[in-house]
Structure 1
Amino acid sequence: MELPPRPTLFDFHGVPMIEIFTANWDSIQNFKARPDDILIATYPKAGTTWVSYILDLLYFGQTCPDRHMSIPIHERVPFLEISIPSQPSGKDLADHLPTAPRLIKTHLPVQFVPKSFWEQNCRIVYVGRNAKDNTVSFFHFARMSNFQPEPGDWSTFLQRFMEGNSERNKLIQNSTTCSTEDLIEDFGREFNSLCFFLGLSPSAEEKERVATGVMFDNMKQNKMTNYSTVKTMNQDVSPFMRKDPLNFT
């Protein structure tokens, strides 16, 4: 498979972006959110996949158990703004999700989130991460993902990261906030907090099922969560899921 050249960052209304996030811009901005949609808003590599899988198992682990071993996580929880040639756009995947609620993820900064999410008063789960771990994870992801700008060496990437010359996100209203560090420190406490925000009361058995399913080693071995089905990611360069020391993606 011949891969396209790496993209370059450019200024988009004051925010560094790449073309796969802006090519479908008008369509993204006109996205029709529903009142029960849940938006997972994160900085890239801040714990997006982990929290996406937690919520996916929480909502659909019992009613649709086969989907977790047959449908990739990026189809179950579409990446709203992504638009890659010859592949379904994130918006199209979100539009056609058969589940209720729809779980949708985004790395857009608050000013770019489609207005329908505010109009429909959708719930938003914002995921943060220690900046040091986030930077390391993002660097290795940029090394292995052909749809990321060339990262250069570590010192160059780190300087660019500290200057803010990468995709950005901000805390947004009507949301709950969690962090990968807090989830690792006390998963039960943070899981209960998420459930409270979402208005859910899972049984002890359901909590255990989710906690087991989202363990790092289980997710790393699951082809539906480790992104090994995505051919534009060269996991020989660096695995999508790394653990060094706090490195859920």
Structure 2
Amino acid sequence: MDLPPRPELFDFHGVSMIPCFTDNWENYQNFQARPDDILIATYPKAGTTWVSYILDLLYFRESLEDRQTTIPIYERVPFLEICVPGLFSGKDQVDNLTTSPRLIKTHLPVQFVPKSFWEQNCRIVYVARNAKDSVVSFFHFDRMNKAQPEPGDWSSYLKRFMDGKMVFGSWYEHVKGWWEKQKSHPNILYLFYEDLIENTEEELDKLCSFLGLSPSSESKKQVMEKALFDNMKNNKMANGSADAVLDFKISPFMRKGKVGDWKNHFTVQQNEQFSEDYDKKMKDTDLQFRTVL
């Protein structure tokens, strides 16, 4: 399959975007959510696939066994705003889901979320990951994902991240926007990638309690086992290998799944500049991240 050239970023209502996430704008803004829909929201590369997979296992592990082995995760948990005209649209995929609840993924900043999610009081799981690991993960993802803008070299990419010139906009605005929203919306559960890594079981309990699920300890153990990074990395239905735009010769889609890999990328000077800039951008929020465990 011949892939089109890599897209260019453009400003869309104050947020950097690319056409495949804005071409279907009217359509997905008018999306009709159902009260039992569950939205999984993240800035890119914050464990979206991991949490999608965990939720899918919690809800459908027993009732639909073949689902786990025959349907890629991106079809089980469609990506609402993605649209490749003439090929597919995430919104259509969601509309065609036969499961209940419908699990839906988005990377939209909070102000872009279709209003029916708020009107229906849907439950939303937001996962945030520290900025340093986010930019490293995003860099490797953009290198291997031909549907993303050309990443360039690491130092220019890091500068772009600090300037918020990324697909889905500024990491700083994204995590802060959702953080403020959850203060007035009890139907948003705000999780941290670092907590999920450090204490998966505790975070899983938090998720279950938020969703009103009470799996047996045996079921929980099975979910945690299947959702281990190495097990997912070797699972063709979860590791992105079924996706034609991803070039695994450059980098795996599921690379390391660790906290602190940024130390292998940032120079001392880059780290100092980044931290100084970070403190300025985050001084207006009580949101706190850990960059090492």
TM-score relative to the length of structure 1:
0.97
Length, aligned pairs only: 248
Q: CA deviation at 1:165?
A: 1.2
Q: Distance in 1 between matches of 2:93 and 2:106?
A: 13
Q: Distance in 1 between matches of 2:257 and 2:21?
A: 28
- Is contact 2:229–2:257 with CA below 8 Å preserved after alignment? no
Alignment partner, residue 197 of structure 1? 210
Q: Distance in 2 between matches of 1:197 and 1:145?
A: 34
Alignment partner, residue 7 of structure 1? 7
User: Counterpart of 2:16 in 1: which secondary structure?
Assistant: strand
Alignment partner, residue 66 of structure 1? 66
Matched, 1:187 2:200: yes
Q: CA deviation at 1:177?
A: 1.0
Q: How does 1:26-65 map to 2 (within 5 A)?
A: 26-65=26-65
Q: How does 1:28-177 map to 2 (within 5 A)?
A: 28-166=28-166, 167-168=168-169, 169=174, 170-171=177-178, 172=181, 173=185, 174-177=187-190
User: Counterpart of 1:41 in 2: which secondary structure?
Assistant: strand
Q: Given the superposition, is the C-alpha separation of residues 221 and 145 from structure 1 closer, same or farther in structure 2, using an over 3 Å criterion?
A: same
Q: CA deviation at 1:190?
A: 0.4
Higher relative contact order by CA 8 Å / sep ≥ 6: 1 or 2? 1
Q: Distance in 2 between matches of 1:53 and 1:245?
A: 17
Matched, 1:245 2:240: no
Q: CA deviation at 1:246?
A: 3.3
TM-score relative to the length of structure 2:
0.82
Letter in 2 for 1:88: F
For structure 1, which runs of at least 5 residues remain unmatched after alignment? none
Letter in 2 for 1:230: D
Percentage of pairs with the same residue:
64
User: Counterpart of 1:177 in 2: which secondary structure?
Assistant: strand
Q: Distance in 1 between matches of 2:257 and 2:124?
A: 28
Q: Which has the higher helix share?
A: 2
Q: Give me the CA root mean square deviation.
A: 1.4
Structure index of larger Rg: 2
User: Counterpart of 1:4 in 2: which secondary structure?
Assistant: coil
Q: Distance in 1 between matches of 2:218 and 2:96?
A: 31
Letter in 1 for 2:251: S
Structure 1 residues 28-86: Cα deviation after superposition (integer angstroms, max 9, x where no partner): 10000000000001000011000000000000001111101100000000000000134
User: Counterpart of 1:65 in 2: which secondary structure?
Assistant: coil
Superposed structure 1 runs of 4+ greater than 3 Å apart? 244-247
Q: CA deviation at 1:142?
A: 0.2
Matched, 1:220 2:233: yes
Matched, 1:231 2:241: no
Q: CA deviation at 1:244?
A: 6.2
